[in-house]
Amino acid sequence: MENRGLLLIGDKLPEMTVQTTKGMINIPGDFSGKWIVLFSHPADFTPVCTTEFVAFAKRDAEFKKLNAELIGLSIDQVFSHIKWVQWIKENVNVEIPFPVIADDMGKVAGTLGMVHPGKATNTVRAVFIIDPQAVIRLIIYYPQEIGRQIDEVLRALKALQIADTHKVAMPENWPNNELIGSKVINPPPKDVAIAEEVLKKHEGYDWWFTYRELEK
């Protein structure tokens, strides 16, 4: 199994051609101009992974509204993915609309650091959010025993897009922060003159911590 070292936030996702339940695709090339939410699961036909896939599937339209495409992955063969996806539709009545990468040789998982330590045939629950320029913007890892909160992945994607568009920072649990609610944090002043004037223009606790309502 190939492992070329961990990719980090700010790195570009390398071009990879992969087999999926929707046929052969190239990532990120086939998703030019879109955000990608690439997530791995330990194995097909496992209870926690099934609950996660159902949750991702039910939110697929919300991700698409944000110009984002979901892509699943595990170190399983494509026939296993196909049968599991069919099982979910037949037994839970949820159709999986996104492609699932059959990374049976472990090349993608090795490149992205998804392989579970001590369990070389399983991937951890990793999430990579990749922007339209193919830059990795967020990485989250969960152990096998704990299922992800898919709404947090959706929230993080929304927050990244707003931060990019408005050149602001997003507080803890935005848009429901305990201190400033749905407001966003202004970038810090770059010189003394701006620092002395910033509280005249914006709400804040100090010159280094000011915030504002998000522009409509």
Please name the residue ranges forming H helices in the chain.
Answer: 47-58, 60-65, 78-92, 107-112, 150-166, 192-201
Catalytic status, residue 32 = no
Query: Using H for helix, E for strand and C for coil, what is the string for 12-72?
Result: ECCCEEEEECCEEEEECHHHCCCEEEEEECCCCCCHHHHHHHHHHHHCHHHHHHCCEEEEE
Domain boundaries, the chain: 16-147, 167-212
Query: Cα separation of 147 and 51, whole Å?
Result: 8
Token pair for 91? 């037994």
Say if residues 107 and 17 touch (Cβ distance below 8 Å). Answer: no
Domain spanning 16-147, CATH architecture: 3-Layer(aba) Sandwich (3.40)
- Predicted local distance difference test score (pLDDT) of residue 71: 98
What b/e sequence results for 158-174 when a residue is b if at least 16 CB atoms lie within 10 Å of its CB, and e otherwise? bbbbbbeeeebebbeeb
The residue ranges of the chain whose pLDDT is under 50 are 1-4
pTM of the model: 0.93
Per-residue model confidence (pLDDT) at position 3: 43
For residue 119, what pLDDT is reported?
63
Catalytic residue among 49, 70, 100, 126: 49
- Cα–Cα distances (Å) from 8 to 113, 155, 212, in that order, read 10, 21, 31
For residue 170, the model assigns a pLDDT of: 98
pLDDT at 204: 97
Fold exhibited by the domain 167-212: Antioxidant, Horf6; Chain A, domain 2 (3.30.1020)
